[in-house]
Chain A
């Protein structure tokens, strides 16, 4: 920066304000620098202290921290971004599940939907159970002898005819497939 540019920069109001602010804060900056210097001196003195170094060595020897532990820590650190993503996803899933569980209206809705699906099945099961009970009761009550004439009469029943037609069709299809 040449002299003319420096001069024009110094005359800019924002630069002037910044310089004034800097000068005003100089004592504070000086104190901070001294504290930093003290901290660095302390660190250097500690590292150079033979007794302290021996204590650290002993601590490391007696601890469970092995080189494998440090390697694992490094590998874990490498995986942290991926782990964070997984944790975030898990957190969202848990938050959703918790919200569903605590939301009375949603619980009510789920209950109604489950009923909608379960009710027809339950009704069908009930109807089947009633039918079987009725069949068993009638069979137990019936003391008639089944004759050939009864069997012939059964053959006229549409449901028996339907079943027999299926049987007939099955026999025909099986027979055709066996021939080919």
Chain B
């Protein structure tokens, strides 16, 4: 088996495939010189799962065979990376030994730590404990919403970075809308328990979302973290993040956003910062210590929201800087922290939040995106998946 490639990309998710496609579009001589390493057979368009959990899309639409998405000219090694030897320009795989690289791109995504919430793993998918963060269980969210006959519907946001920070509240807004349609809203209470200090980081969208919360009469508890689920008793145990006291909330259904972290093989490597994330320059996305290593996406320590939209802006920067480095030029392409969150606020409404490192709105549309709009909902539901599969993963968008 070949053991040296000019570019090795760890992770064939959104970031890895986008960068590979862009490198190949720009530099045809790299055909056969790019290796993507990823153990998964399937690739998921996870932004759709909010709609799947609310019964507005089919989960099968979010899944494709990994082999069908690997860009022509790149090779795919179906294996797990278990370590890095960055001083020797090597990655270590579980079954195929070490692979040598000239340039390394780390885009391995984020890992869900279901076990950090006591009682969650065993209860998930049963007893009205649901979560949109798993392809296997996302249907159960819809089953739970359909079966809800009133009482307390509890939604949580953990005390860790998460992929798409808006997703925990999106499913809550859709659930509320659904309960209104089915007539159970009047005898139910909706509660949001979030580790964050406010509903959203960016002032403009925070103000808009606070109005949504008020209109929908949602009870919010900020700076609280779910630590245990007693599924048989339908009780959720939270801890106060400012003080440490714990308290219990009875629920009739609970949607859990699980805690997340960088994958272990990154956390325990020399590429990680103190928090376990790939330690890259926030503008050039080049590793702070190993100059032939770049990182993008959820596994990095970039101080912005971890979203696919952010990766759409990071991928061209990484591709350009890798090419510049190959030709002996100083990498100067720069990422401004752009991220976007299409916050679904009902079955046909959406606030399209777009912002940068400074939390300043960077809106693409010629109108106020803080307003709930049907057009933006159509954009998310019908257009963004096509843009993803056929534009972003092909290196053209």
Contact = CB atoms under 8 A, between A and B. Distances in A.
B385 interface: yes
A110 B61 CA distance: 11
Given A105-B64, A109-B61, A100 B396 contact: no
Contacts of B381: 113
B386 A106 contact: yes
Interface stretch (B157-165, B288-296, B334-342, B387-395): B387-395
A105 B389 contact: yes
Interface string A56-76: 000000000000000000000
Contact of A92 (B64, B386, B397): B397
A95 B382 CA distance: 20
A103 B390 contact: yes
A103 B64 CA distance: 12
B386 A109 contact: yes
A103 B389 contact: yes
Interface string A86-124: 000000110110011001011001100100000000000
B389 A96 contact: no
Interface in B341-366: none
Contacts of A100: 386, 390
Contacts of A109: 61, 385-386
Interface of A: 92-93, 95-96, 99-100, 103, 105-106, 109-110, 113
8 contacts: A95-B396, A96-B396, A100-B390, A103-B389, A103-B390, A106-B389, A109-B385, A110-B386
Interface string B179-202: 000000000000000000000000
Given A92-B396, A92-B397, A96-B397, A106 B390 contact: yes
Contacts of A110: 386
B57 to A, nearest CB: 10
B382 A113 contact: yes
B394 A96 contact: yes
B271 to A, nearest CB: 32
Contacts of B397: 92, 96
A103 B397 CA distance: 16
Contacts of A103: 389-390
Chain B binding site: helix, strand, loop or mixed by DSSP?
helix
Interface residues of B, number: 12
Contacts of B386: 100, 106, 109-110
A-B CB proximity, top 4 nearest = A92-B396, A99-B390, A100-B390, A96-B396
A109 to B, nearest CB: 6
B394 A99 contact: yes
Contacts of A99: 390-391, 394, 396
B155 to A, nearest CB: 27
B356 to A, nearest CB: 23
B390 A96 contact: yes
A103 B385 CA distance: 13
A95 B394 contact: yes
Given A106-B386, A109-B385, 18 more contacts: A93-B396, A95-B396, A96-B390, A96-B394, A96-B396, A96-B397, A99-B390, A99-B394, A99-B396, A100-B386, A103-B389, A103-B390, A105-B389, A109-B61, A109-B386, A110-B386, A113-B381, A113-B382
A109 B384 CA distance: 12
Interface in B281-327: none
A95 B64 CA distance: 20
B395 to A, nearest CB: 8
B317 to A, nearest CB: 16
A169 to B, nearest CB: 29
Contacts of B64: 105
Contacts of A106: 386, 389-390
Residue in B64, B385, B396 whose Cβ sees the most chain A Cβ within 10 Å:
B396
Nearest to A92: B396
A115 to B, nearest CB: 12
A110 B381 CA distance: 11
Contact of A96 (B61, B382, B385, B391): B391
A37 to B, nearest CB: 33
Contacts of B390: 96, 99-100, 103, 106
A93 B64 CA distance: 23
Nearest to A103: B390
Interface string B205-249: 000000000000000000000000000000000000000000000
A113 B391 CA distance: 18
A133 to B, nearest CB: 32
Interface string B63-97: 01000000000000000000000000000000000
A90 B83 CA distance: 41
A110 B390 CA distance: 12
